[in-house]
Amino acid sequence: MKKAKKKLRFRFPLWAKTLLVLFLSVALVGVVSIVYSSNYLKQTTLKNYSEKSTELADTLGAYINLEDLIKVRDKTQSIYNSLSKDDFVSNEYWGEEKWLTYLHLYDEVVAMPEYDRLIDQISKLHSTTSALYTYVSFVDWEKQRLVYLVDDSELGEDDPDNPDAKYIDGDRCLPGTFDDFTEQDKLAVNHKVEGFLPEVTNMEQYEWLISTGRPIFAPGAEKTEDNIEAYAIVEYSMKDIVAEQSKSIATLSWIIVILSVVTIIGGYLLVLFFLLRPVRKLTKAANEYIKGSTSENEGLDKFAKIKIRTRDEIEDLSNSMKKMEGDINKYIIDLLSTHTKLEGAEKKADEMKSLADKDALTGVYNKRAYFEAEERLNKEIRDGKAKFAISMIDLNDLKVTNDTLGHEKGDELIKGLSNIVKSTFKASNMYRIGGDEFVVISENGDLKAIEELHKDFVDTINKSMEEKNIDGMGVSAAIGVAIFDPTSDNNVEDTFKRADRKMYENKKKMKGS
């Protein structure tokens, strides 16, 4: 009989298994850490530059000589508005003959001393920053164009044989030159006061940029569309931003790679010992670390939770993994600290704004908040979406109460009226716009039931006068209600005046009764 052949079995020793598991675990942790951190770094860097460009644009608008700017703008606009449709040539045709012909239409603007002073002023500010371009433009909203006024970019070298060479070879956009709106720019039509939000562009005649445009207002002027003098625009090179990102990512990657190599070399010593359970603990921790978490810090302390007391190389490996984890987490936390501080500052600003919008005596919204609501409703009116009613309410005999019983009693009446209004118009916003004057803006549900609410308010006031439930006094107040009528009201003020007239008519009736 033939002897059965002996099967050869491939032996995979424990040291090889240990080394393989360790290598894969550390590699996966490293890759996940690099990918996660890289994505976060990219987002954070882009956000930081967006905020940086917005801040610098605001600084430019506050820093520039407005008197000189207005003169340059008015002269440029005068020439611009005098041209026919066929005369316009955008920067898309940079360097072409027709572009140069269009450019020279504005030579008298370039010759203005105000223009030279503005160039010098912007250049000084620009030299203190890392921005690539800083310039000021006005906007032709109808044609959707950004028209340059002052740009401190470099001109090309002078060429005696070609005077226009310095314009063609340089980066400076002279007065009157323009770029058509990008799709992102078109969004600014609906929020002109906010300006042009941070946008990444890559146009052939320029570079790969992130740009932000902010409106320039006259000092002390109300920040409305009508008071916008021009737009300050700041652009940073995306190449510089990407280079900064790459440098940070490379640094982080090297840290992770070096720590990983050190960990793997240390783990190689484990092949001398058969301690499978501690190895499995480390492998499990590595897998959990790889899975990560949706939050910034949760799930990044897996190795720190492991307790291995073998007093040998495996324990050393555990400590090494903990150190690697701690170094990586510390590096990431340092990157996140700036973001956390910014969020705290924004939260504090929101709290301050909330306090600024409230009336100290009654706790309802104040006149400042009313103006903001008025601005919002006027925008809805312009957009054809406005549906609201205004109730004008005036407390009767406040001055008499203050003079005879004291301001403390007067305050009790004001608070009493405030409570009545709030309990009646529960779904409406209430504003105290004067000592004894309140305005209620009703929308949605309260708007549909406005007549019933008006009647309930009058009934409550009458009941208060009968019961005299405010420290022996009753609350007497007149009310006038007006619903926004798009056929007769051009703005919130028109509706307000109608409500005010009705309130005074009711007040006269109450005094005559």
Plot region of 262 (φ>0 → left; ψ -120 to 50 → alpha; else → beta) = alpha
What are phi and psi for residue 392, nearest 5 degrees?
A: -100, 120
pLDDT tens for the chain, 513 residues: list them: 445 555 556 666 656 766 777 778 777 877 777 777 777 777 777 788 888 889 988 898 888 999 999 999 999 999 999 999 999 999 999 989 999 999 999 999 999 999 999 999 999 998 998 888 999 999 999 999 999 999 988 888 888 888 888 888 888 999 999 999 988 888 888 888 998 888 887 665 566 878 899 999 988 888 898 899 999 999 888 776 767 667 777 787 788 778 778 877 776 665 545 466 777 666 776 676 666 644 444 556 666 667 777 767 777 777 777 777 677 766 666 666 655 554 554 565 455 555 578 988 988 999 999 999 999 999 999 999 999 999 999 998 888 888 888 888 889 889 999 999 999 999 999 999 988 999 999 998 899 999 999 999 999 999 988 887 666 678 889 999 999 999 999 999 999 999 999 999 999 988 875
User: Dihedral sign, CA of 488, 491, 497, 499?
Assistant: positive
Instruction: Compute CA distances 274 → 33, 194, 278, 364, whole Å.
Output: 30, 67, 10, 73
Select from 164, 161, 186 the least CA-distant residue to 97. Answer: 164
Separation of alpha carbons 149 and 247, rounded Å: 36
pTM value is 0.46
Model pLDDT, residue 214? 93
Instruction: Compute CA distances 427 → 54, 184, 366, 493, whole Å.
Output: 37, 37, 17, 22
Separation of alpha carbons 384 and 375, rounded Å: 14
Separation of alpha carbons 283 and 331, rounded Å: 23
Model pLDDT, residue 71? 95
Contact 502, 482 (CB under 8 A): yes
Q: What tokens appear for 492 in the block?
A: 């919130």
Model pLDDT, residue 294? 44
Every domain of the chain and the residues it spans: 21-29+253-343, 44-242, 365-512
CATH number for 44-242: choose from 3.30.450.20, 3.30.1370.140, 3.40.50.10490, 3.30.70.1140: 3.30.450.20
Model pLDDT, residue 465? 85
Pairing of strands 365-366, 228-237: unpaired
Q: What tokens appear for 204 in the block?
A: 């052939």
If DSSP codes are grouped into helix, strand and coil, which group holds residue 158? Answer: coil
Model pLDDT, residue 439? 96
Contact 196, 185 (CB under 8 A): yes
**Architecture category of domain 365-512 in CATH:** 2-Layer Sandwich (3.30)
Looking at residue 85, the DSSP 8-state letter turns out to be G
Contact 229, 214 (CB under 8 A): no
**Cβ atoms < 10 Å from Cβ of 238:** 19
Separation of alpha carbons 126 and 151, rounded Å: 11
Q: What tokens appear for 48 in the block?
A: 């930081």
User: Dihedral sign, CA of 360, 364, 366, 368?
Assistant: positive
If DSSP codes are grouped into helix, strand and coil, which group holds residue 276? Answer: helix
Provide CB contacts within 8 A for 391, sequence distance 6+: 425, 428, 439, 440, 442, 450, 454, 457, 479, 480, 481, 499
Helix (H) / strand (E) containing 228: strand 228-237
Is 132 exposed, middle or buried (CB count within 10 Å of its CB: 0-12, 13-18, 19+)? Answer: buried
3-class SS shares of the chain: helix, strand, coil, % to 5: 60, 15, 25
Select from 499, 34, 484, 3 the least CA-distant residue to 259. Answer: 34
DSSP class per residue in 301-360: -TGGG------SHHHHHHHHHHHHHHHHHHHHHHHHHHHHHHHHHHHHHHHHHHHHTB-T
For 62, half-sphere exposure in the C-beta direction (CA atoms, 13 angstrom radius) is 7
**Cβ atoms < 10 Å from Cβ of 423:** 11
